[in-house]
Each structure stands twice: as structure tokens, then as C-alpha cells.
Chain A
């Protein structure tokens, strides 16, 4: 009788263990999870952006919004004729005539502590005949300082090209090279 009691007890214990183990295994199988990682690394570098944008009162720039824009006045003449929209033609007595138009210079800074910027401009090619100016600053192949305390964002500059009456008619082309430096 005692042996029979022991056998039943062992059987019950074994069944309980098996049930627990099975249940645990099944539960584990139904709720398995796994982990993974993606490490991300980057090193940011400070940078400055300089772009040219068509001014609301200026000639339409080719490449507006980029750092390589174009101002194309087309075929123009001192007397008569017409000039593109938002270009002002001025005849100065019997000496020269000029074309003027505003355009926007947009300077932005990223990842650098800077309260303002310095902007310079220079002609790509020397021009001993015509006068190229930005605001009150005449340009040459030597960089001229337009501002040493430029506020980040958009600033309007008026470009002016003055042509002597004495110069022969023909194509006029040049490039203004700008440099913006964060202060």
C-alpha cells in the first residue's frame, strides 16, 4: 500500500513537472524576441551658403536660388530701345549711360557660432572701359569689401554697369566673384 502511494505521488510530481516545463517552453516559443542595433556616426562640419535670388524689383536672374546666377540684359542701347523689366537705364549727359538692377544675396551659416559675415566681390576679368559697381562700390579684379558685418539672410544689392559713349558697341560680359566668410 505504501509503495502504491509513493508511485502515485511520484507520478503526480512528474506530471506536474512535465506540465510546467511544457507550458514554459510553449510560452517561451510564442513570445520569443530578439534584439539588434544600428550604430550611427557622423561628423558635421561648419559651412556657409551664398546664393543669389531674383529681387522682387529686379531683373530675373538665370539660376536664381543658386550660387551661380546670371544677369542677362540682352540687347540694349543708350538712346531709345528698351531694357528688360526692372532694369533702370540712365543717360548721364554726353559722357556715359548705365544699367542698374537690384538682386538679392542670401548668406546662411550652419553649425558655427557666427553673428555676421564678411562679403567681398571682384571681377573675374579686368575691364578698363566700363564701370562695374555693387551699390557704391566699384569693382575690379581685386576683391572689394561689400560688408564686414552682414546679417545672415537676404540682402539686396544694386548692380550697376556704366558704359562710356566713347566705347564701341558690342558684347559686354564678365563675372562677379563673391566670397562670404563667417565672422
Chain B
């Protein structure tokens, strides 16, 4: 009996550590919005938004991308769908918190999700997210006219936490 109890304790401890690995806990996935840019890796937790070759004046932008020209900068924007689902072990959770941060600092361009400006410090997008409900976030990248042309790359790191 003693040995069985010890084994049960070990199993409980082990299961607590490996829930995320087993997919039993909360999960996030990024999906191409019907009105947005087609994401590479749509439906997974590691998507890519590739705008391709773009320019402030003239040229074209991919389908689902809006370009707007300001007095001293220009902006690309597109909606992205975020879907969060809770796992088996999240039965007690009624909502989630979603944060986002840039992987690399960018002192030149402005990265936003809705009205939230992103930096390398995590910003809260919502503290009361609803599970299993697709939420549209508008991503925007603002590029100053004064910046030399070239490649712009970065990664937005999302963290979703069960409340």
C-alpha cells in the first residue's frame, strides 16, 4: 500500500510538470483572418506574416493588407485571428490573459496590435479573454519615411495564461 501511494505521488508530480508538453493545458493558435494577410503556419502556435516587398508610394501590397500614408511615415496593417483554448487541466479557469512582446527591440519602426504598442516588455492584450472564441487583432507596422529601405524582421512572442 505504501509503495502504491508513493507511486501515485510520483505520477501526480510528473503529470503536473508535463501537462504543457502533453497538450493538456491552455493553447494558443494564430489563424489567417478572412479579411487579412494569409499567414504561413495558420492554425498553429508559430505563424508567419510575410508582407513581401512593399513601398510607401506606388507598388502593391498583399491581399488583406492595408497601406496608409502619413505625413512622415507609412503603415501596413492586417487583421490576425487569435484562438485560445483551455486544456483538460484548466477546468477551473474561466478566462485567460494574453500578452505580447517583440522578440527584438526596434527603435525605428512601430509595431502594434490594435492600439497596443509593442516592445520587448510584454504588454497585456486582454486580461479576460474568452476561451474558444476567435479574437481579431489588427497588427500594424509603421515605417518612417526617413528610414533607409531594407528588410524588416521581428517576432511577436505571445503568452497566454489561464486565469
Contact = CB atoms under 8 A, between A and B. Distances in A.
Interface of A: 10, 14, 17-18, 20-22, 24-25, 27-49, 108-113
A14 B6 CA distance: 6
9 contacts: A20-B9, A31-B162, A35-B158, A36-B45, A36-B160, A38-B80, A42-B50, A42-B51, A110-B145
Contacts of B13: 20-21, 24-25
Interface in B1-41: 2, 5-6, 8-10, 12-13, 15-17, 19-20, 25-30, 39
A128 to B, nearest CB: 34
Given A18-B8, A38-B30, A49-B56, A111 B161 contact: no
B90 A14 contact: no
B99 to A, nearest CB: 10
B125 to A, nearest CB: 12
Interface size classification for chain B? 35 or more
A28 B19 contact: yes
Interface of B: 2, 5-6, 8-10, 12-13, 15-17, 19-20, 25-30, 39, 45-59, 69, 74, 76, 80, 87, 89-93, 103, 111, 139, 141, 143, 145, 147-162
A49 B141 CA distance: 20
A36 B158 contact: yes
Contact of B5 (A17, A24, A48, A111): A17
Contacts of A34: 20, 25-28, 45, 159-160
Contacts of B48: 38-41
A10 B1 CA distance: 10
A31 B16 CA distance: 11
B50 A46 contact: no
A182 to B, nearest CB: 11
A144 to B, nearest CB: 24
